[in-house]
Amino acid sequence: MDDETAPQKGTVTQRAIERIKAMIGEGRLEPGQRLPTERDLAAQLGISRSSMREAIRALTVLGVLEARHGSGIYVTQLEAGDLLETFGVVADLSRGPRLVELLEIRRILESTATALAAARITGDQLAEVEKHLAAMNATDDPEEILAHDLAFHRVIATAAGNETMAAILEGLSSRTFRARVWRGYQEEGAFARTRREHAAIHRALAAHDPEAARAAAAAHVGEVEMWLRAQLGP
């Protein structure tokens, strides 16, 4: 009826992945909607349940589908966070020169995001920034500092009003990534400098000064970037 007898390109699993992606792309599957059961889907595409499961698993790790045990398979909201979660994998598996490249990208995006945030940030958001800033300065526990550091930048990225950019920056600041790079950096007594830089960023945000915010954020990330570049050098 509708099995189309496709031209047999690639593996059946790959074809199944494309078919489902196409269904979503064409709007035949709406975000949040529930898909037919694995068994039905397999039957519809004329493949085995095993192959269909692999296709579903693939789309699951991409953040497109979500499988709920005992309930069914659903299309995610297809929001930036869902789809860009895999961005963290890149950061986690990168080393050497590519870490510098990732930091360079983060510097570019973070400085722009901070500039946008300076223009758009609300009072509530600014208060939250201050909360994390204070918490960061009130403790010496590296774990806690790192957590508030991440939150500090996340609030700023959100305030910039570009959810996609916030999600990418989230990936570029993933826990393991930060742990690997920041640890060595902070061990060199960079606490004081970091606090100064965070304060400068906050000052620019409070003053709603985009250019100052851009410069402060670029300098903040740039410091780490330079340090890492030196580490990898001779």
Partner DNA sequence: CCAGCAGGGTGGTCGGACCACTATGCGTCC
Partner DNA sequence: GGACGCATAGTGGTCCGACCACCCTGCTGG
Where does this chain bind DNA (CB under 7 A)? Answer: 11-14, 35, 37-39, 46-51, 53-54, 56, 67-73
- What are the CA-CA distances from residue 103 to residues 49, 51, 62, 112, 204 (Å)? 42, 39, 23, 14, 22
Name the 3-class secondary structure at 94: coil
Residue numbers 91-120 binding its own copies by CB under 8 A: 92-94, 98, 101-102, 104-105, 108-109, 112
In this structure, the number of other CB atoms found within 10 A of the CB of residue 227 comes to: 15
CB of 178 to DNA, least distance (A): 30
For the chain, helix (H) and strand (E) counts, in that order, are 12, 2
Q: Which runs of E-coded beta strand occur in the chain?
A: 65-68, 72-75
Nearest-approach distance from CB 77 to DNA, in angstroms: 17
Out of DNA, its own copies, none, what residue 72 binds, judged by CB under 5 to 8 A for its kind, is: DNA
N- to C-terminal Cα separation, the chain: 66
Residue 216 interacts, among DNA, its own copies, none and using kind-specific CB cut-offs from 5 to 8 Å, with none
CA distances from 165 to 104, 105, 168, 170 (A): 15, 11, 5, 8
Chosen from DNA, its own copies, none, partner binding at 12 (C-beta under 5 to 8 Å by type): DNA
Which residues, 168 to 227, sit near its own copies by CB under 8 A? Answer: 168, 176
- C-beta of 92 vs 130, nearer to its own copies: 92
Amino acid making up residue 151: A
Which residue, among 63, 75, 79, has the nearest Cα to 23 in the 3D structure?
75
Given its own copies, DNA, none, residue 101, with its beta carbon under 5 to 8 Å by kind, binds its own copies
Q: Using CB under 8 A as the criterion, which residues of the chain lie in contact with its own copies when the complex forms?
A: 13, 17, 21, 24-25, 50, 53-54, 57-58, 60-62, 64, 78, 80, 83-84, 86-87, 89-90, 92-94, 98, 101-102, 104-105, 108-109, 112, 162-165, 168, 176
